[in-house]
């Protein structure tokens, strides 16, 4: 079994290392030896330390490598949309099995890859694309195929979880924590993808597609990142017995006519410390799956990093290699349900809103009136001396309001109106609250 490796960075170099260290076991599991036919990179001359591989295998011609007659399996760990899409479509149409960790591409245009795989009769596996080492996609696309999944909730980005954990545990600054996550190999080539939620949104689209048998793309996912989460938000969450996590939530629902829909969102949220996702720290990921018959399932493990991701890649390599030897192919994409995607405004959620207000009679009544006009019910109100607002306003007060569940559109309209009130000096922070009563 001959393998073309596209990319030899954080993940690719660990794939090479594991292939070398476990070659005898892998051969026994597959039923044939597994060899690297070539490795496509951007810079052949780059120093790759003590990587156990023949330097002559490196090339800057990925297409030439893919087209070679002796290549059976293509492993793509380069990333990005193009040229990765063209390479993988070429490989799949030629009947070569593909293993990829490229969630950005799968979420943007997974359809092209699935169509090419069907056309070429080839396997397309992508376990490493979501939640690193955690076996999650195979359970969704195989083990749970007899059940009906209603909701998937999780932490699926290691970099942002690392940053939020550091801010919460040690009071580390955002920039400092991001730098450390990048050094540890967790962040994307452009870390904006992590901190602005693009990476988690891509993963959410992949999870929703598999869970609900519907093609969901990154553009269908409501996305907010963590760049606006402040140290004050983290402290405020702590004071309430909560922590802040970047959550991915994909859930079934219904539209006004009762037709079934799916809603998929990624945003920071406060969750109670008693929630099982609250203790998921550093670059770990965890995903809850709620299914009709199986009930609640939780998947937990390392969500980023070279070796954990390479483990998932190699698991897929063994699977596709065995399929090839058996002349078989895994089941193709299941998108028969074709459910409509629900707008974010219809999502049911709770808000934690921190306001800097004038400290005078009637303020509470005016603020409560805005909530009432938008039919948003207030769960708790706490008033204290101004903390988060600009300095020099000794007579101002801070109001912290937590709402009951309401449609996101009503909550957003409430915040918009609050911003326009003369008595509201500033809306210091707005965070969604998930889990718990």
Q: Which residues bind ligand HSE (CB under 6 A)?
A: 132, 157-159, 186-188, 194, 199, 303-304
CA–CA gap between residue 201 and residue 266 (Å, rounded)? 6
- Token pair, residue 322, equals 């065995």
CA–CA gap between residue 401 and residue 372 (Å, rounded)? 13
Provide the β-strand partners of residue 355.
Answer: 399, 427
Q: 3-state DSSP call for residue 12? A: helix
**How many residues line the site for ligand NDP (CB under 6 A)?**
27
Catalytic: 203? Answer: yes
Q: 3-state DSSP call for residue 394? A: coil
Does 311 bind ligand NDP (CB under 6 A)? Our answer is no
- Asked if omega into 83 is within 30° of 0 (cis), the reply is yes
CA–CA gap between residue 292 and residue 286 (Å, rounded)? 20
CA–CA gap between residue 233 and residue 244 (Å, rounded)? 8
Burial (0-12, 13-18, 19+ Cβ within 10 Å), 235? middle
Residue 20 binds which entry of ligand HSE, ligand NDP, none, with Cβ cut-offs from 5 to 8 Å by kind?
Answer: none
Residue 389 binds which entry of ligand NDP, ligand HSE, none, with Cβ cut-offs from 5 to 8 Å by kind?
Answer: none
CB of 186 to ligand HSE, least distance (A): 4
Interhelix angle 408-419/363-373, nearest 10 degrees: 140
Does 77 bind ligand NDP (CB under 6 A)? Our answer is yes
Q: Which of 1, 16, 101, 430 binds ligand NDP (CB under 6 A)?
A: 101
Residue nearest to ligand NDP (CB): 9
- Token pair, residue 205, equals 């689209």
CB of 106 to ligand NDP, least distance (A): 9
Residue 157 binds which entry of ligand NDP, ligand HSE, none, with Cβ cut-offs from 5 to 8 Å by kind?
Answer: ligand HSE
Q: Which of 20, 23, 33, 43 binds ligand NDP (CB under 6 A)?
A: 43
Does 102 bind ligand NDP (CB under 6 A)? Our answer is yes
Q: Which of 8, 163, 201, 206 binds ligand NDP (CB under 6 A)?
A: 8
Q: Which of 18, 136, 304, 320 binds ligand NDP (CB under 6 A)?
A: 304
Provide the β-strand partners of residue 271.
Answer: 243
Secondary structure tally for the chain: helices H, strands E:
14, 18
Nearer to ligand NDP, 41 or 402 (CB): 41
8-state DSSP, 22 = T
Does 78 bind ligand NDP (CB under 6 A)? Our answer is yes
Does 400 bind ligand NDP (CB under 6 A)? Our answer is no
The contact set with ligand NDP (CB under 6 A) reads 7-12, 40-43, 46, 62, 77-79, 101-103, 128, 132, 185-186, 188-189, 304-305, 309
Active site members: 203
């Amino acid at each position: 079994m001959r393998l073309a490796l596209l990319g030899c960075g954080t993940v690719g170099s660990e794939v090479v290392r594991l292939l070398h260290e476990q070659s005898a076991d892998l051969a026994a599991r597959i039923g044939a030896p597994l060899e690297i036919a070539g490795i496509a990179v951007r810079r052949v001359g780059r120093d790759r330390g003590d990587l156990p591989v023949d330097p002559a295998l490196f090339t800057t011609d990925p297409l030439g490598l893919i087209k070679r007659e002796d290549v059976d399996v293509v492993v793509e760990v380069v990333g990005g949309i193009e040229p990765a899409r063209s390479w993988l479509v070429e490989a799949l149409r030629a009947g070569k099995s593909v293993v990829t960790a490229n969630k950005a591409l799968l979420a943007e245009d997974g359809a092209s890859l699935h169509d090419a795989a069907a056309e070429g009769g080839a396997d397309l596996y992508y376990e490493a694309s979501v939640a690193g080492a955690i076996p999650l996609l195979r359970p969704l696309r195989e083990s749970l195929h007899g059940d009906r999944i209603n909701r998937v909730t999780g932490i699926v980005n290691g970099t942002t979880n690392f940053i939020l954990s550091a801010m919460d545990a040690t009071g580390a600054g955002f920039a400092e924590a991001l730098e450390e996550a990048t050094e540890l190999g967790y962040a994307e080539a452009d870390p904006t993808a992590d901190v602005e939620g693009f990476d988690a949104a891509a993963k959410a689209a992949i999870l929703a597609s598999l869970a609900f048998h519907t093609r969901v793309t990154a553009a269908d996912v409501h996305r907010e990142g963590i760049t606006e989460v402040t140290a004050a938000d983290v402290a405020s969450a702590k004071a309430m017995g909560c922590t802040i996590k970047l959550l991915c939530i994909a859930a079934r629902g219904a539209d006004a006519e009762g037709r079934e829909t799916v809603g998929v969102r990624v945003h920071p949220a406060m969750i109670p410390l008693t929630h099982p996702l609250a203790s998921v720290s550093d670059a770990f990921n965890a995903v809850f799956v709620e299914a009709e018959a199986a009930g609640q399932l939780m998947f937990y493990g390392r969500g980023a990093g070279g070796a954990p991701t390479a483990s998932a890649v190699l698991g897929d390599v063994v699977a596709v290699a065995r399929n090839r030897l058996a002349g078989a192919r895994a089941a193709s994409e299941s998108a028969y349900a074709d459910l409509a995607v629900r707008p974010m405004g219809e999502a049911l959620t709770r808000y934690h809103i921190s306001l800097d207000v004038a400290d005078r009679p009637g303020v509470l009544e005016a603020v409560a009136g805005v909530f009432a006009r938008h039919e948003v019910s207030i769960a708790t109100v706490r008033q204290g001396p101004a903390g988060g607002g600009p300095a020099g306003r000794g007579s101002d007060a801070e109001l912290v309001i937590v709402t009951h569940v309401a449609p996101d559109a009503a909550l957003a309209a409430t915040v918009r109106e609050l911003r326009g009130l003369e008595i509201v000096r500033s809306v210091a922070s707005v965070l969604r609250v998930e889990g718990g009563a």
